[in-house]
Structure 1
Amino acid sequence: MDTAMSALTAETRSMRLEIAGFQSQISGLDHRVAAVESQVVLQTDRDQEILYLRSKLTDLEDRSRRNNVRFLGFPEGIEGTDILSYLRDTLPKLADITFDPPLEFQRAHRLGLKRQNGKDRPRPIIACFLWHGQVCQLLQLSRRQGPLRLGPLEIRLSADFSKETADIRRAFLSLRPRLRHLDVKSSSSQPGCG
């Protein structure tokens, strides 16, 4: 009986040691799970902050571009060596408007690399106007009339947006036929141009 009792006591002691080992492992796992959970919470907070900062960056980029207008359709080289003078002289004729104050630009240039093949479409011209009111005036006119004409030239104007905003607007354009079909009025005007 003593041997059976000592064997039982030894077995119980062994089980207690195993249980204590399991408890310490479980405790260690609890600490690791808690650490991982806190990292997940931190990562979620970081992800939300990154989304907020991206949104803010897109907004700032769009605001910095609000005085830019893209002109599509001017043949390569028509502007000569002084693109600002060309636009200053041509836009009032193109839009059939007298600008008051006269047109003033910060800068203007063609977008992209010069194309080697003369048969390619001409590169767009982008101009940064000094006065936002003139940007609105031109864009609203273009929106009402469609492409502006100067002799045989058909010139299209568009606002300049960040890539993110341009992608959103492009996605919206694909929805417009469905909205029209449902008799839902929609528009996507230049912000700040009424």
Structure 2
Amino acid sequence: MPSGKATGISSGKQAQQLLFSEAVQLTRPASSAAGPNPPAQPPTISDTEQTKTMERILQEISAVSRRLEGMDTVTTSLITETKSMHLDIAGFKSRVTGLEHRVVTLETHIHTVQDRDKDLMYLCSKLTDLDDI
């Protein structure tokens, strides 16, 4: 039997119909399936009870199938959300890398300004020394 994904929702209904028809064949009394002189066996449950049981089983299968479809929808949504979060994380990492480069550049500028400040302080002290002379 092909997988449910390949053939769509109708395959679930086909599977239910097949299950029902095979179950009905298995639960029919031997007298209806045997040759001209079948052994007499009293039916254990009536055809109506068998049909009701099979219908109940099919309803349960259908309910489980619907729950699985709902879970599939939730799973697909979670996968999509996870992919989106991975893209967001990649974007944040890129932004952090850019900010790290800016910090390094700013630190370099700060060191340059500090060095120039020292040079200016030295020159100011020399000018003061010249004024004192």
TM-score normalised to structure 1 length: 0.37
Partner of 1:32: 81
Q: Distance in 2 between matches of 1:50 and 1:88?
A: 41
Higher strand share: 1
Give the count of matched residue pairs.
81
Which has the greater radius of gyration? 2
Query: Residues 125-147 of structure 1: CA distance to partner in whole angstroms, max 9, x if unpaired?
Result: xxxxxxxxxxxxxxxxxxxxxxx
Instruction: Give distance in 1, aligned partners of 2:57 and 2:105.
Output: 71
Please show how residues 3-82 of structure 1 align to structure 2 within 5 Å: 3-69=52-118
Q: Give the structure, 1 or 2, with the largest relative contact order (CA under 8 Å, sep 6 or more).
A: 1
Report the counterpart of residue 13 of structure 2 in structure 1. Answer: none
User: What is the RMSD of the two structures over their aligned residues, measured on CA atoms?
Assistant: 2.8
TM-score by length of 2: 0.52
Q: Deviations over 1:68-89 (max 9, x none)?
A: 2176xxxxxxxxxxxx5x6414
Aligned-residue identity in percent: 9
The residue type paired with residue 55 of structure 1 is V
Unaligned runs of 5+ in 2: 1-49
Task: Provide structure 1 residue ranges, at least 5 long, that are not aligned to the other structure.
Answer: 72-83, 94-194
Find the residue that maps to 1:69 and give its secondary structure: helix
Which one has a larger percent helix, Structure 1 or Structure 2?
A: 2
